[in-house]
């Protein structure tokens, strides 16, 4: 087994072909051997044994439907806030580097989706512990709690395999 094998990621779709999770090569092989997935796209990685060769999939679908347990709630953390806000400062539009609480925590602002935004260093310094209307800053858009299939983006991360693309449209 080589480095490619260890770095490989397989996109697992639900039986409905909606993206569900990402599996390692090892996990994909286990799912194939237990007849739980149908391979949709293979990669050029293979796992050879004396009796057989298994092509490691790039995309596979479960042959049964599962209710996605994590579809309900996306963790409110720095990484997911950055994904929601596309790594862009929500005050000025440049690359974000930190998180700002719109109503500062010191003034009773809550740590919730509607009160946090990705923010650049400069805006964070301007904003500091002030209310928004005490500064020159304006929000580009009102922050919202993620909905729908947003959670799959948090699983896939920021650089999905290009070959997954057509299966991520619903995400």
Residues that bind Zn ion (CB under 5 A): 89, 91-92, 120, 123
Smaller CB distance to Zn ion: residue 131 or 163?
Answer: 131
Least distance from Zn ion to the Cβ atom of residue 154, Å: 23
Distance CA 2, CA 98 (A): 37
Least distance from Zn ion to the Cβ atom of residue 155, Å: 28
Least distance from Zn ion to the Cβ atom of residue 103, Å: 18
Angle at 83 between CA 78 and CA 88, to 5 degrees: 90
Smaller CB distance to Zn ion: residue 25 or 123?
Answer: 123
Which token pair is 107? 């003034």
Distance CA 56, CA 11 (A): 11
Q: How many CB atoms lie within 10 A of CB 107?
A: 10
Smaller CB distance to Zn ion: residue 77 or 135?
Answer: 135
Smaller CB distance to Zn ion: residue 114 or 135?
Answer: 135
Beta bridge partners of 162: none
- CA distance readout (Å), 56 to 50, 61, 94, 161: 17, 13, 40, 14
Least distance from Zn ion to the Cβ atom of residue 77, Å: 20
């Amino acid at each position: 087994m080589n480095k490619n094998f260890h770095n490989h990621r397989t996109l697992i779709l639900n039986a409905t072909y909606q993206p569900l999770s990402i599996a390692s090569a090892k996990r994909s092989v286990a799912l194939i051997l237990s007849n739980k997935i149908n391979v949709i796209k293979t990669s050029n990685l293979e796992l050879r044994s004396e009796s057989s060769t298994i092509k490691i999939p790039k995309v596979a679908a479960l042959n049964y439907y599962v209710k996605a347990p994590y579809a309900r709630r996306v963790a409110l953390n720095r990484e997911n806030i950055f994904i929601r806000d596309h790594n862009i400062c929500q005050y000025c539009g440049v690359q974000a580097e930190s998180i700002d609480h719109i109503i500062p925590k010191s003034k009773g602002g809550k740590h919730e989706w509607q009160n946090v935004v990705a923010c650049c260093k400069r805006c964070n310094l301007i904003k500091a512990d002030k209310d928004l209307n005490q500064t020159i800053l304006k929000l580009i858009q009102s922050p919202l709690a993620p909905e729908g299939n947003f959670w799959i983006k948090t699983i896939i991360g920021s650089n999905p395999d290009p070959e997954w693309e057509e299966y991520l449209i619903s995400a």
